[in-house]
A and B are shown apart, each in its own frame.
Chain A
Amino acid sequence: MVLEGLSLVLTPTCLSLIAFGVVIGIIFGSIPGLSATMAIVLFLPLSFGLPTVDGISLLVGLYLGGISGGLISAILLKIPGTPSSIATVFDGGPMADRGEAGKALGVGILYSFIGGMISIFALIFLSPYLAAVTLKFTPVEYFSIAVFSLTIIASLSGKSLMKGLLSGLFGIAISMVGMAPLDGLTRFTFGQFQLLSGFSIVVVLIGIFAVTDIIMAGFDRKNLDKQMEKKSYTLKGFGITFKEFREQIANMIRSALVGLGIGILPGIGGSTASLLSYTASKNASKHPEKYGTGIIDGIIASETSNNAVIGGSLIPLLTMGIPGNTATAVFLGGLTIHGISPGPLIFEKSGAVVYGIFFALIIANFVMLIFERAGLRIFVKLLDIPKHILLPIVMVCCVIGAFTNNSRIFDVWSVMGFGILGVLFKRMHIPSTPLIIGFILGSMAELNLRRAMQASAGDISVFFTSPISLVFLIVAALSLVMTLRRSYKESKN
């Protein structure tokens, strides 16, 4: 069965489709607003006419490329190409500012590959066991994960903890616009039907990161050329020495496990994985104060985990037929159309195809590594394009991304609104990253808090009697205390 699967993938057509899928996926991933899901949706009809493994391999390439491409714009433009790359901006952006864009990209690409490989091997060898473990996760544990991830707001608040908290809480507030979870009651829509579905993460991300930057460039247009001084760089291999690689092994393994775990858990997604592993990495680090200033540790944490989500999210999909995120939901559609029914019997019924998918994933990961590394010089050249030309083009891509999200002009207006909000935040020296974190995690926290309380008939002790939940809450409390202590010390100094 294994060899049969391999032979299905090792055909010129299939290999070309994987390469094509990865390249298109990277392009979609690197353009803010366009996502891996969009790429899969667009090419899904094309895959119908292809033989099963060829069609699925194309989708695999698109999925992997789409997630991996996000790091390019996250590092070069400080705009995450996909929500999964949000934490890559924290350290990738400052590194690019220092003229280390090549190193940041090289490290990001390498660890995307490693994260992907770890999760693919976990998918191949451990899927049934891992799927069984994650079935133990209830809303109680989900809520505690959200609380733990929210503690990163405190450490990303910059000089003022209060302003960071306000920003994070404001993000949570925005996430509550529209229909409430569970009962579907409308909240804070003020009679506007467009607000019923709330704001999409893509819209908030583009507005806060991209549009704000473009408007700020307008306020600072006198200095745009000064910022454009060419930053030379030299890069050998992937920009990481063997010593650095050795030092990062613990960070890499931890981040891959976080990504894998989050990928398996339905409904969380790459953005939370990226934030969670960044927080975990920062908490475990001997030099947490350096995070956010441009160190490879942050990029490694983010990129390893968001790519590990890929294999992780395919575990419940293939073994139980449960899609963990929107991309895998579309992927599930593709499998079903090709007559494959994911579930416990998938290995017996469609063994060769499943092994074909595994091999396609491995090949796609190598193609991603080769293509992104080979294109690194071209990507870095992006920084040489004069900003007065580059930024308007980025704005156009953002508008397309916002519009294609739901095919409505309201999202374009929202993007603009969030852009202006970002400018006001900058004026008031309020960090905007906590807003995004609050927005991503707020709805997850609310949904699972309500579910957990409903299931326990209002008994709050469930959060402390579940061992997994308790661990997350203790670590969250420790993380918060450590950050507050550090912040107090800094303010005293």
Chain B
Amino acid sequence: MGEKIKEIICSVIFAVFGGCMYLEASKIRPVMEKDLGSGFFPKIVGLSILLVAVIQLIQTIKREPPKDKNQDADEDTKGGLFTIAAIVGYTILYDLLGFILSTVLYLFVQICILSNRGNRNYKLFAAISLITPIIIYGLFM
């Protein structure tokens, strides 16, 4: 996706967010006398987001698209997505298995994800994954 398209989508998302916030805040009525009400500040913030996002959108459309630097080419999408999956899995398991077991599993998986062939040492990873949660548990739990 081109940089310009990305920026346009981003501005539109912010503009929609600001607009929705303004509408939602408009429904809040003041309940106390002489008070601005709980809807006043969110309305100002929502409107400001909308305004700034529209300015940003106009600026982006007017601007010449930047020369494609192709920064994403070197990126390891798999590594990033696996990391997100590992963190999501950890959060789910934390609730189900408790701290120690879920942390042992998470640490091992996450270290494996972030390591590469050159520095992969499963025995060391397993030892760190086992010892760390026990030390942390002993210290803080």
Chain A interfacial positions (CB closer than 8 Å to B): 34, 160, 162-163, 165-166, 169-170, 172-173, 176, 180-183, 185, 187-188, 211, 214-222, 224-225, 386-389, 391-393, 395-397, 399-400, 403-404, 409, 412-413, 416, 419-420, 423, 427-428, 430, 442, 445-446, 449-450, 453-454, 457-458
Q: How far is the CA of A169 from the CA of B87 in the complex (A)?
A: 28
Contact A166 B14 (CB under 8 A): yes
Decide yes or no: A222 and B34 within 8 Å by CB, A395-B87, A430-B10 being known contacts. Answer: no
Decide yes or no: A420 and B84 within 8 Å by CB, A218-B76, A219-B79, A396-B103 being known contacts. Answer: yes
Question: Taking CB as reference atom, which chain A residue is nearest B33?
Answer: A454
Decide yes or no: A413 and B91 within 8 Å by CB, A169-B49, A170-B49 being known contacts. Answer: yes
Contact B53 A218 (CB under 8 A): no
Decide yes or no: A449 and B118 within 8 Å by CB, A162-B52, A218-B83, A409-B94 being known contacts. Answer: no
Contact A188 B95 (CB under 8 A): no
Interface SS of chain A: helix
Decide yes or no: A176 and B75 within 8 Å by CB, A214-B83, A218-B80, A430-B10 being known contacts. Answer: no
Q: Interface size (B, Cβ < 8 Å)?
A: 65
B68: interface (CB < 8 Å): no
Question: Taking CB as reference atom, which chain A residue is nearest B139?
Answer: A27
Contact B32 A397 (CB under 8 A): no
Q: How far is the CA of A334 from the CA of B49 in the complex (A)?
A: 44
- Kindly count the residue-residue contacts between A and B in the assembled complex, taking CB atoms under 8 Å apart: 174
Given the complex, which residues of B lie within 8 Å of A427, measured CB to CB?
Answer: 6
Given the complex, which residues of A lie within 8 Å of B95, measured CB to CB?
Answer: 409
Given the complex, which residues of A lie within 8 Å of B14, measured CB to CB?
Answer: 166, 170
Q: How far is the CA of A400 from the CA of B138 in the complex (A)?
A: 13
Contact A412 B38 (CB under 8 A): no
Q: How far is the CA of A476 from the CA of B114 in the complex (A)?
A: 44
Question: Taking CB as reference atom, which chain A residue is nearest B27?
Answer: A187
Q: How far is the CA of A176 from the CA of B37 in the complex (A)?
A: 13
B113: interface (CB < 8 Å): yes
Question: Taking CB as reference atom, which chain A residue is nearest B21?
Answer: A173
Contact A392 B107 (CB under 8 A): yes
Given the complex, which residues of B lie within 8 Å of A211, measured CB to CB?
Answer: 87
Contact of A172 among B37, B45, B52, B94 (CB under 8 A): B45
Contact B74 A389 (CB under 8 A): no
Q: How far is the CA of A68 from the CA of B40 in the complex (A)?
A: 38
Given the complex, which residues of A lie within 8 Å of B103, measured CB to CB?
Answer: 396
Contact B24 A392 (CB under 8 A): no
| A407 nearest CB across to chain B (Å) | 12
Contact A185 B79 (CB under 8 A): no
Contact A169 B48 (CB under 8 A): yes
Contact of B83 among A166, A217, A397, A442 (CB under 8 A): A217
Decide yes or no: A220 and B75 within 8 Å by CB, A169-B45, A400-B140, A454-B35 being known contacts. Answer: yes
| B118 nearest CB across to chain A (Å) | 7
| A109 nearest CB across to chain B (Å) | 23
Q: How far is the CA of A389 from the CA of B126 in the complex (A)?
A: 11
| B3 nearest CB across to chain A (Å) | 9
Given the complex, which residues of A lie within 8 Å of B49, measured CB to CB?
Answer: 166, 169-170, 173
Question: Taking CB as reference atom, which chain A residue is nearest B133?
Answer: A396
Contact B113 A218 (CB under 8 A): yes
Contact of B32 among A216, A409, A428, A454 (CB under 8 A): A454
Within 8 A of A (CB), among B29-47: 30-32, 34-42, 45-46
